[in-house]
Structure 1
Amino acid sequence: MKIAIDFHIHTALSPCGDEDMTPNNIIGMSVLKGLDAIAITDHNTIENCDACMTVGLKHNLIVIPGMELQTKEEVHLLCLFKNLSAAKEFQSKVYEKMSIKENLSELFGKQIIYDDKDQPVGENRRMLISSVNMSLEEAFRDVDLLEGVVIPAHVDKSSYSIIANLGFIPPNLPISIIEISKNGNHGALMEKFHFLQRYKSLRNSDAHYLHDILERESFIEVEEKSIFGILEALKAGNIIGGS
């Protein structure tokens, strides 16, 4: 079964996310654009996943709980989980290794937590855009133990990507899929870094604004239309669009 996806969407909980990125707005726009499944991937936190998943259920949209982790190497990783419980367990590990510095909302933006009615129920005071004291190896290990999936984010970007920061992909990391930015040039990237051709590539939006969310342009093949089916497809590299 072919489904249209966007697995890199930020809510207003990410300090760089627009305040219009509320659960109902995100789900509504995703449905309007014809998507079958999305992932909520705020910076170093999953605290808006619950509300987004609740709204998603009402609209028959699959919402995967996720996180865009910033490792101690300053590499961004998309971490996708089988359920909210697993995502919360990983979040606890991340919070333990996060700086005690507080967010400077006047400089970086607010970090708003919503309920499923789009009502603010809190503000995360942690500095979510900082690196977590967790290595790439630790991140892959901990997500794997929770039966999740890790995808290196926006490998074509000049900052916060595994290529920009390391210059290569460590062969010991169990990577099968890499993410390319919404407007990234896949051909030019593969020509510049030939070793990337061994990986399947997935295009996501990295949406911080509602209009950024993908149309029906990035696809995967699943045997079962569910979070479990999607994670299994990603582990198998069943990417059929988005490159």
Structure 2
Amino acid sequence: MRIFKKYFITGLLIWVPLVITVWVLGVLIATLEGFVPGFLSAQSLFGVDIPGFRFVLVIVVVLLTGVFAANLLGRTMLEQWEKLLGRIPLVRSIYNSVKQVSDTVLAPNGQAFRQAVLVQYPRQGSWTIAFLTGTPSGEVATHLPGDHVSVYVPTTPNPTSGFFLMMPRTEVVDLQMSVDSALKYVVSMGVVAPPPPVPVGRPTEIPTAPGVRQRGENAP
């Protein structure tokens, strides 16, 4: 029974990550394909069903939209489109909020979620991993004494939900680990620990085979 349990758990450790990965990709592809109308499906265009055709079509449309928006004509039309949406009361609030978040998070030169930090939450003495999202601004910043930063504290094991906090900069500890390593640490509930940081300025020792002299060593 002990051997059966050992092999069964080993099999689970192999299949669970693979199944979850395939499931997430399947949900993502199905969601993107849902935006393609029926008359643009492979069955309607070519008379035969081609798996993944709608997904490829969505990728091509997004890519062509980016190319079109990169020139002067595309930017002008995009500005007019945003002005039109800005005149619709309910749509204006939703669109502007989503656009500000997407511009901040997805911008290549943005600083949101670019650094993992260590903060004390939910009380003093309890530490957790968070991600820098920026600095407080506007009216909020005028009520905060000293230097503050905005951080996002993800929940475990689902990092898509969490808490938004504004904390004094002196209470935030910068981490050398990458954002990917920090996310793995959070999702795994501390099981998958990131590698220890490499000391800055410490030379890397290169092992040599027996009998081979290092540079600078005198011959016997």
Shorter-normalised TM-score: what interval? under 0.3
TM-score, length of structure 1 as denominator length: 0.20
Structure with greater helix percent:
2
TM-score, length of structure 2 as denominator length: 0.22
Could you say which structure has the greater relative contact order, defined with CA pairs below 8 angstroms and 6 or more residues apart? 1
- The structure with more radius of gyration: 2
